[in-house]
Structure 1
């Protein structure tokens, strides 16, 4: 398949994507074509451009060069309502000061689908409830947003994104503030959804569960492919500054990454 055909068929793609701020390049000519239904992990050291890439892919920032495409259409040319129906982004530090219940916060995810002729109804309520169930937050639905812990808020943010019923879900460090049980259940939930997802992660062992990994280093895409193919000992040293080797878990045969300081 040609690069043009890949862009036309990909649920989300970018070509030559770059961003400069006050003369400083934050991203350099990123080319990506997502595969429908895959979970693409984005990894890299702090400051490598992970959050910036997700914001550009979601249309929250305009690139200095290149373009983002959704099912072959240029993201910049699409109405915001259409973008919100197609893409959902959960940022690291999203917050609200509104005194609203958890249910109402998640119900905001239905906004792109509502209109005067199609108000919030029984189907929307069922979608909101399912999103709360998916992140193990149904028991929080009547709680006020301001009374939630950091981990609970993170799960509710993700539920709101799920309530949008997007074709592509973008998650920036979604396991931040979550205990280990909810980290594992959340990643399993995302990977089981019948959508395409892009997940920026710090934990490289969690990243190994993704279908593919994109490795960023100083704003450049330096590796893209199957996790074990790109997180090689050489790449771990050159990009992350650590030595690494793989162990096999005797319980289920899973490969586990062990890292140590150089």
Structure 2
């Protein structure tokens, strides 16, 4: 499929994306197209370009070369407000120093939809309450932001993104700072949402739940396909520096990766 066809059939795509900063090439000629409704996982070692790719796809960074397309339109030609109505981002180290409550932080997700002609309404309140419930933070809604733990703040950032009611959700390692129960809960939520999602992950077994995986290595896209297609023993060794083979869980028949050092 050529780049022009990708732009028409995908909800979000990057064509020949490169990004250079201070002489360092962080991303090199990456092209991929995200299909409507799919959950695409981006995996790779530290420094492989996962976060840079997500920032380019979201418009937080402008590519040094190439173009991002949102629903067939060049992202660079779309107003930020219009982008925010269609696409939400949860960054890896998102933070705020404002003296606000968790509820107020989540309410910020409604900002792209508000104007003098469309002030805050009961529907906005309903959407915010649902977003908080989706990440199980109802009991903390009035808590001051600075009193929240790292995991609680991360869940609140996800709730803020959900409050945007996006069609596309980009998440950069959203399970950082979360305990294992919260990790599984958040990933289950993301997979069940009626949105297209792109999620950068470290844990390869958690990545198996994605429809497709994009494997990054030294700023390049080196593999793209279903988890079982791309996570071959050769790819695990070449990109991740580990040995691996597939096991079958006797509990439910699911395939899982067994990883070990060479």
Q: Normalized against structure 1, the TM-score is what?
A: 0.98
The answer to whether residue 223 in structure 2 is matched with residue 223 in structure 1 is yes
Question: Which secondary structure state, in structure 2, belongs to the residue aligned with residue 209 of structure 1?
Answer: coil
Counterpart of 2:79? 79
RMSD: 0.8
Q: Give matches, 1:162-173, under 5 Å.
A: 162-173=162-173
The answer to whether residue 151 in structure 2 is matched with residue 143 in structure 1 is no
Whether the 8 Å CA contact 2:19–2:25 is kept in 1: the answer is yes
Whether the 8 Å CA contact 2:3–2:15 is kept in 1: the answer is no
Counterpart of 1:88? 88
Q: Give matches, 1:1-262, under 5 Å.
A: 2-262=2-262
Runs of 5+ unmatched residues, structure 1: none
Question: Which secondary structure state, in structure 1, belongs to the residue aligned with residue 30 of structure 2?
Answer: strand
Cα shift readout 1:5-40 (whole Å, capped 9, x = no counterpart): 221231100100110112221101111111111110
Shift of 1:59: 0.4
Runs of 5+ unmatched residues, structure 2: none
Q: How many pairs were matched up?
A: 262
In structure 2, distance between residues paired with 1:42 and 1:2:
21
Whether the 8 Å CA contact 1:8–1:73 is kept in 2: the answer is no
Question: Which secondary structure state, in structure 2, belongs to the residue aligned with residue 60 of structure 1?
Answer: coil
Whether the 8 Å CA contact 1:236–1:242 is kept in 2: the answer is yes
Question: Which secondary structure state, in structure 2, belongs to the residue aligned with residue 174 of structure 1?
Answer: coil
Runs of 4+ with deviation above 3 angstroms: none
Q: Normalized against structure 2, the TM-score is what?
A: 0.98
